[in-house]
C-alpha cells in the first residue's frame, strides 16, 4: 500500500483499547477540546496535528455531551462557510458613502459578509451591514434577516463598546 493510500487513522495511535474516538471537523476544534477538556483526553505533542481526539473511558457523560455538542456545532459551521462574493460597483459605492468605510481596509470584510447574506437569501445585505461588527456577528444578523425576508432594517446594529458613541443623543459627544 502506498503512503498516499494509507488511512490516516493508521498513523494516529490509539492510546488504549477502551479510549473513545472523537473525529473533529478541524484541527482547531480538536485543539480547543484538548485545551478545555484536557483532563479527559489522551494526547501528547504529536497529536496536536490531528483532528482525532481520544477521550479516556471514564469521561463523565456530562462532558462527553459537551464535547459532542461542540463538535457538532463546529461541523455545522464548517459546512456553512461561504467564502467571499464580489461587490458590485453600486454596492461598493453605497458602502463608500458610510463614515469610516474604505475598500482597502474593509473590502474583504464586506465581501465575506455579502457571501453569508447571499448564502442565507438576504435581499439587501448592505442594509444590514456594519463594518464595525465582526463577520460572525453578521452571520447572526443575516440569519435573523433571512427569517424576516431579508428586507431593509434601519437599525443595523446594537450598541457595543466599539460603536456606542453613535448611539448617544447628541450624535457622538459625551457630555
Q: Give the closest residue to 54 by CA, choosing from 6, 13, 7.
A: 13
pLDDT for the residue numbered 61 = 92
Indicate the Cα dihedral angle 30, 31, 37, 42, nearest 10°.
80
How much is the pLDDT for 172? Answer: 46
Tell me what pLDDT residue 163 has: 43
Q: What is the pLDDT of residue 152?
A: 41
Cell numbers placing 57? 473511558
User: Residue 73: what pLDDT?
Assistant: 87
pLDDT at 68: 92
**pTM: predicted TM-score of the whole model, two decimal places:** 0.45
Q: Where are the domains of the chain?
A: 10-79, 89-159
**8 Å CB contact between 125 and 155:** no
Predicted pLDDT of residue 80: 67
Mean pLDDT by 10 residues, the chain (175 residues): 47 69 86 89 74 88 92 79 85 92 90 88 89 86 72 41 43 45
Q: How far is the C-alpha of 70 from the C-alpha of 80, rounded, in Å?
A: 15
Strand pairing category for 41-42 and 20-23: unpaired
Amino acid at each position: 500500500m502506498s503512503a498516499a493510500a494509507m488511512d490516516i487513522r493508521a498513523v494516529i495511535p490509539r492510546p488504549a483499547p477502551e479510549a473513545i474516538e472523537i473525529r473533529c471537523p478541524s484541527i482547531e476544534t480538536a485543539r480547543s477540546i484538548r485545551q478545555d477538556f484536557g483532563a479527559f483526553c489522551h494526547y501528547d505533542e504529536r497529536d496536536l496535528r490531528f483532528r482525532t481526539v481520544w477521550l479516556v473511558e471514564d469521561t463523565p457523560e456530562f462532558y462527553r455531551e459537551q464535547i459532542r455538542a461542540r463538535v457538532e456545532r463546529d461541523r455545522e459551521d464548517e459546512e456553512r462557510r461561504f467564502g467571499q462574493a464580489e461587490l458590485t460597483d453600486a454596492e461598493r459605492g453605497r458602502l463608500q458613502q458610510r463614515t469610516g468605510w474604505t475598500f482597502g481596509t474593509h473590502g474583504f470584510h464586506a465581501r465575506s459578509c455579502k457571501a453569508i447574506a447571499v448564502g442565507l437569501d438576504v435581499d439587501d445585505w448592505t442594509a444590514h451591514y456594519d463594518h464595525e461588527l465582526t463577520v460572525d456577528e453578521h452571520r447572526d444578523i443575516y440569519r435573523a434577516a433571512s427569517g424576516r425576508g431579508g428586507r431593509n432594517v434601519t437599525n443595523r446594529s446594537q450598541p457595543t463598546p466599539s460603536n456606542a458613541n453613535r448611539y448617544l443623543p447628541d450624535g457622538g459627544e459625551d457630555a
